[in-house]
């Protein structure tokens, strides 16, 4: 009995899935490619017709504008201005992320408080701030609050320590004078000692279970060593107190109203979102965990800090990172209140001479870089801290 | 009665020494804030600027002798929304009237504030008419046993008609809209146009063809990685450059809308992708077993289930778009936020620090819209039972 030979007949190409897949993709890619080419040719043609440069030479041209509160001069190239702007973006984002996290966790925990009044106050805060556009909050703080502080001639002064006016808040600044080398060496040594103390306390805790007090130990070591270095190096630091003149303040550290308005608004807005994430994550921690903590006799605060929050934290990492990203992106709204972050710098460069398509492309690339960096860090942290299946 | 109050406050306010301190501190703070806020709203604030500019805040440059079109659109809009609410109530059963009133509370307060500032009896009558039409169509929606597709069509048609009533028949193009009207238009048109693009992008991202997938992923991740304002600037300053030389540059309003759509469709795509992933694999396998083509599987089996699951998230996206439309103020469009700054420069009001009043008013309008919608979306979520199966 002869077996029928197995015939594998290929279908005709117009019905062959393998062929169709390739053809479909090629057609799709060709379509997208044609669209991109079409846009590109239109762009270059339009730019040439208007006499706008099509290359990237503008990045090296002098910017023609200065950036307040920095060493940037108008003769420096635009690329330097963009870097300065990106640094300002990071300045407001980094501090904003820290403050928003702290405030958000506090409010989120307060929303679950056993105290009715605290619970309702936190809910009112969240529901109010969350439902107002962040730009409205930013402009409100800038125009309606900070710029309406008394003018410099009638500024609020607390002794020599603090000058508050519509030019900003000026506080004492620590400046170096004389030889800093010895002091620098001590600082580095102090940091190294602090790391060592941290490791030692951690090992000790792992071995014996006695309280580690890592933060106290490390902080104490740094302070002690720095103090010794301060005197050994001949006291190389001085405090510069703010002085009020007729037109502005001299010396001291100035917190500009633009920066303060942007920071406050971003912190409030992001904190209201973080509070909801914190609340959800705490509720997602298994009830038994809290009950077990109670059974062990932990206090309310210990229960939260040692049992609930560490577990809630793992759940909240991805949405929290998303909020950090949103804060960084929302810092671009500083453009509306003339805080010189990277968007405003680009906007000014465009209004001076820089070609708009390229300039905004660079701007988007900078933000994309920030976003991808934050996303990468999140993935790393998430993978390290994620629940290991047990 | 007093015992119950005592018990309640002992349990909720003074359960421990720490809680008692918190209660006192917060109580004082809250009372003070409340006192200052009420004092501001009813005594100190100079609301004349809102009183005189209410029409500006609502429609800004819209020609005043064409305002009847806006009222007509409002009637159509409320008919469509009332019909939708009625159809939804028929499905899920209806709640009590007092609950409905409580939910609508912020909106009612907002309308009352508008009418108070308008000070016109005609506006009150017309608004009452709008409410009556909404209630009437809600009753109609509850009676007519229509299929979901018909309801969606009727509601969508009503909204399109509402816009047509303003724009068509020698009407006023959206280039001349402003104030709250422009805000609402940008949000509604933005989400409506983004939706089909977002669905296509989501399907592309889930496609088994790598060529399609990579393009869609690149688009989505690019626009989710940059702030809206950079896209708005790109649109406002350079959109004309990307058109064939010689084409007239579209209006600033159009360019802003294009930028909003480009940006929002990336977010809609991610939301829809979540819905697509939530459809059990068995559904697709069952469809294949029935011999449906992959196109039919997507259209008849996957998408209906996926889209139903993402409705609350889409409402959330709409809310955030509603808030984000305030960003077009930075490119000079006269929407709600920008108008509230522009009117402080009028000769009668300039340099009096009235931006406090106007910004609070704008914030209140945004808050009512955003808060009410998020409340409704939470209710919708419970009704659809998302995440419960």
- Which domains does chain A possess? 78-149+255-385 (1.10.3720.10)
**Out of B208, B238, B330, whose CB is closest to A356?**
B238
The interface residues of chain B toward chain A in range 211-250, judged by CB-CB distance below 8 A, are 211-212, 215, 222, 224-231, 233-234, 237-238, 240-245
Percent of chain B past pLDDT 90, that is, above it, reads 20
Of the given ranges (A37-41, A51-55, A347-351), which has the lowest mean pLDDT?
Answer: A51-55
With 50 as the cut, is the pLDDT of residue B335 above it?
yes
CATH class of B47-384: mainly alpha
Convert the pLDDT of each residue in A217-248 to its tens digit. 888 888 888 888 877 777 777 777 777 776 66
- What's the whole-number mean pLDDT along residues A366-388? 84
Q: A387: which DSSP letter? A: P
A176 has which bridge partners? A237
- What's the whole-number mean pLDDT along residues B345-363? 83
Kind and range of the H or E element at A234? none
Convert the pLDDT of each residue in B232-241 to its tens digit. 999 998 888 8
For A220, the 3-state DSSP assignment is helix
**Out of B13, B327, B341, whose CB is closest to A115?**
B13
Kind and range of the H or E element at A192? helix A181-208
pLDDT at residue A257 in the model: 86
pLDDT at residue A387 in the model: 63
**Out of B245, B371, B374, whose CB is closest to A42?**
B245
Tokens of residue A281, six digits: 């994550």
- What's the whole-number mean pLDDT along residues A161-185? 77
Q: Do B367 and A329 touch (CB under 8 A)?
A: no
Query: Measured between alpha carbons, how far is B102 from B88 in angstroms, rounded to an integer?
Result: 18
What is the DSSP code string of B305-360? HHHHHHHHHHHHHHHHHHHHGGGGGGGT--BHHHHHHHGGGSTTTTTS-THHHHHH
The interface residues of chain B toward chain A in range 99-158, judged by CB-CB distance below 8 A, are none
Nearest CA in chain B to A328: B227
pLDDT at residue B257 in the model: 93
Q: B260: which DSSP letter? A: H
With 90 as the cut, is the pLDDT of residue B219 above it?
yes
With 70 as the cut, is the pLDDT of residue B91 above it?
no
B17, B26, B201, B274: best mutation site toward chain A, by most A Cβ within 10 Å?
B26
Convert the pLDDT of each residue in B288-330 to its tens digit. 899 888 888 888 888 888 888 888 888 888 999 999 999 999 9
As to burial, measured by CB atoms within 10 angstroms (0-12 exposed, 13-18 middle, 19+ buried), residue B36 is: exposed
- What's the whole-number mean pLDDT along residues A242-269? 82
pLDDT at residue B94 in the model: 60
Question: Looking at the complex, does the CB of residue A134 fall below 8 Å from at least one CB of chain B?
Answer: yes
With 70 as the cut, is the pLDDT of residue A390 above it?
no
Kind and range of the H or E element at A344? helix A342-352
Mean pLDDT taken over chain B:
84
pLDDT at residue A253 in the model: 77
Percent of chain B past pLDDT 70, that is, above it, reads 96
- What's the whole-number mean pLDDT along residues A176-203? 83
A46, A352, A373: best mutation site toward chain B, by most B Cβ within 10 Å?
A46
Cβ contacts of A130 on chain B, cutoff 8 Å: 370
Question: Looking at the complex, does the CB of residue B26 fall below 8 Å from at least one CB of chain A?
Answer: yes
Nearest CA in chain B to A37: B242
Is residue B226 a contact partner of residue A343, using CB atoms and an 8 Å limit? no
The CA R_g of chain B, rounded to the nearest whole Å, is 24
pLDDT at residue A342 in the model: 92
Band the pLDDT of B121: cuts 50, 70, 90. confident
pLDDT at residue A7 in the model: 67
Convert the pLDDT of each residue in A134-148 to its tens digit. 999 999 999 888 888
With 80 as the cut, is the pLDDT of residue A319 above it?
yes
pLDDT at residue A95 in the model: 92
The residue among A2, A269, A252, A22 whose CA lies nearest residue A134 is: A269
Q: Tell me, rounded to whole angstroms, the distance of Cα A389 from its chain centroid.
A: 32
What is the DSSP code string of A130-147? HTS-HHHHHHIIIIIIGG
Return the top range by mean pLDDT from A14-18, A88-92, B343-347. Answer: A88-92
Convert the pLDDT of each residue in B1-46 to its tens digit. 677 888 887 777 777 778 788 888 888 988 998 998 888 888 877 8
* Domain regions of chain B by residue span: 1-44, 47-384
With 60 as the cut, is the pLDDT of residue B389 above it?
no
Return the top range by mean pLDDT from A106-120, A246-260, B38-52, B133-147. Answer: A106-120
- Tell me the torsion sign for CA atoms B340, B343, B344, B345: positive
With 80 as the cut, is the pLDDT of residue A249 above it?
no
Q: Do A114 and B12 touch (CB under 8 A)?
A: yes
Q: Where are the alpha helices (DSSP H) in chain B?
A: 2-12, 17-39, 48-59, 67-92, 97-103, 105-118, 121-143, 148-167, 179-205, 210-225, 228-238, 252-278, 281-289, 294-296, 303-324, 336-342, 355-384
Q: What angle is formed at CA B358 by the lines to CA B352 and CA B360, rounded to 5 degrees?
A: 120
Q: Do A49 and B245 touch (CB under 8 A)?
A: yes
Q: Do B229 and A335 touch (CB under 8 A)?
A: yes
Q: Do B244 and A42 touch (CB under 8 A)?
A: yes
Nearest CA in chain A to B324: A133
For A169, the 3-state DSSP assignment is strand
The reply to whether ipTM tops 0.95 is: no
Mean pLDDT taken over chain A:
85
pLDDT at residue B385 in the model: 61
The CA R_g of chain A, rounded to the nearest whole Å, is 29
- What's the whole-number mean pLDDT along residues B110-126? 82
Convert the pLDDT of each residue in A90-144 to its tens digit. 989 999 999 999 999 999 999 988 888 888 889 999 999 999 999 999 999 998 8
Cβ contacts of B225 on chain A, cutoff 8 Å: 367-368, 371-372
With 70 as the cut, is the pLDDT of residue B216 above it?
yes
Could you tell me the strand order of the sheet in which A168-171 lies? Answer: A156-158, A162-165, A168-171, A253-255
Tokens of residue B280, six digits: 């059990």
pLDDT at residue A126 in the model: 92
Query: Measured between alpha carbons, how far is B166 from B164 in angstroms, rounded to an integer?
Result: 5
As to burial, measured by CB atoms within 10 angstroms (0-12 exposed, 13-18 middle, 19+ buried), residue B305 is: middle
Cβ contacts of B200 on chain A, cutoff 8 Å: none
Band the pLDDT of B96: cuts 50, 70, 90. low
């Amino acid at each position: 009995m002869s077996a029928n030979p197995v015939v594998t007949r290929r279908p005709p190409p117009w019905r062959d899935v393998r062929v169709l897949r390739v053809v479909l993709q090629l057609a799709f890619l060709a379509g997208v490619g044609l669209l991109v080419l079409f846009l590109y040719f239109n762009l270059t043609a339009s730019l040439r017709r208007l006499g706008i440069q099509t290359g990237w030479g503008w990045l090296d041209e002098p910017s023609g504008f200065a950036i307040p509160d920095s060493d940037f001069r108008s003769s420096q190239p635009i690329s330097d201005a963009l870097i300065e702007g990106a640094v300002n973006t990071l300045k407001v984002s980094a501090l904003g992320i820290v403050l928003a996290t702290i405030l958000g966790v506090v409010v989120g925990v307060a929303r679950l408080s056993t105290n009715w009044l605290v619970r309702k106050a936190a809910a009112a805060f969240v529901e109010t701030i969350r439902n107002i556009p962040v730009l409205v909050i930013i402009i409100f703080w800038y125009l309606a609050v900070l710029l309406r502080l008394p003018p410099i001639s009638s500024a609020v002064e607390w002794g020599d320590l603090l000058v508050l006016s519509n030019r900003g808040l000026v506080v004492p600044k620590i400046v170096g004078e004389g030889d800093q080398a010895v002091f620098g060496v001590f600082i580095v040594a102090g940091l190294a000692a602090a790391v060592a103390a941290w490791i030692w306390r951690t090992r000790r805790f792992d071995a014996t279970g006695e309280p580690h007090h890592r933060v106290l130990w490390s902080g104490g070591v740094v302070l002690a060593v720095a103090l010794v270095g301060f005197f050994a190096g001949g006291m190389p630091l001085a405090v510069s107190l703010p002085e009020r003149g007729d037109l502005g303040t001299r010396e001291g550290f100035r917190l500009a109203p633009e920066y303060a308005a942007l920071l406050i608004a971003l912190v409030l807005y992001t904190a209201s979102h973080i509070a909801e994430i914190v609340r959800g994550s705490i509720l997602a921690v298994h009830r038994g965990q809290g009950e077990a903590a109670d059974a062990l006799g932990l206090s309310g605060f210990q229960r939260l800090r040692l049992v609930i929050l560490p577990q809630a934290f793992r759940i909240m990492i991805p949405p929290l990172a998303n909020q950090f990203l949103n804060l960084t992106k929302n810092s671009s709204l500083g453009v509306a209140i003339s805080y010189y972050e990277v968007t405003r710098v680009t906007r000014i460069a465009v209004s001076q001479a820089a070609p708009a398509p390229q300039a905004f492309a660079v701007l988007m690339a900078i933000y994309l870089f920030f976003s991808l960096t934050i996303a990468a860090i999140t993935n790393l942290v998430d993978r390290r801290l994620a629940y290991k299946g047990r | 009665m007093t015992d119950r109050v005592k018990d309640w406050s002992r349990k909720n306010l003074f359960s421990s020494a720490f809680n008692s301190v918190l209660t006192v501190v917060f109580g004082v703070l809250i009372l003070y804030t409340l006192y200052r806020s009420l004092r501001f709203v009813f005594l100190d604030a100079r609301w004349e600027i809102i009183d005189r500019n209410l029409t500006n805040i609502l429609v800004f440059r819209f020609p005043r002798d064409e305002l009847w079109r806006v009222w007509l659109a409002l009637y159509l809009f409320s008919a469509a929304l009332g019909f939708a609410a009625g159809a939804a109530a028929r499905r899920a059963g209806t709640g009590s009237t007092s609950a409905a009133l409580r939910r609508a509370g912020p909106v009612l307060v907002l309308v009352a504030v508008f009418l108070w500032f308008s000070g016109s009896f005609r506006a009150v009558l017309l608004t009452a008419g709008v409410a009556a039409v909404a209630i009437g169509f809600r009753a109609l929606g509850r009676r007519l046993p229509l299929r979901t597709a018909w309801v969606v069509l009727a509601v969508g048609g009503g909204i399109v008609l509402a816009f047509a009533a303003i724009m068509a028949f020698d009407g006023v193009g959206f280039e001349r809209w402003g104030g709250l009207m422009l805000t609402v238009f940008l949000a509604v048109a933005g989400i409506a146009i983004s939706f089909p693009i977002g669905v296509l992008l989501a399907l592309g991202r889930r496609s088994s063809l790598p060529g399609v997938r990579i393009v869609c992923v690149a688009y989505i991740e690019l626009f989710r990685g940059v702030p809206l304002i950079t896209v708005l600037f790109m649109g406002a300053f350079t959109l004309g450059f990307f058109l064939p030389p010689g084409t007239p540059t579209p209006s600033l309003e159009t360019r802003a809308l294009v930028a909003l759509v480009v940006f929002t469709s990336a977010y809609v795509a991610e939301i829809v992708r979540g819905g697509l992933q939530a459809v059990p694999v068995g559904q697709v396998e069952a469809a294949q077993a029935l011999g449906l083509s992959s196109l039919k599987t997507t259209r008849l089996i996957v998408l209906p289930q996926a889209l139903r699951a993402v409705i609350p998230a889409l409402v959330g996206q709409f809310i955030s778009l509603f808030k984000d439309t305030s960003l077009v103020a930075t490119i000079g469009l006269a929407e709600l936020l920008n108008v509230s700054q522009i009117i402080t420069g009028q000769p009668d009001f300039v340099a009096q620090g009235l931006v406090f009043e106007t910004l609070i008013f704008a914030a209140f309008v945004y808050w009512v819209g955003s808060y009410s919608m998020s409340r409704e979306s939470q209710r919708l979520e419970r009704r659809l039972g998302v995440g419960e199966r």
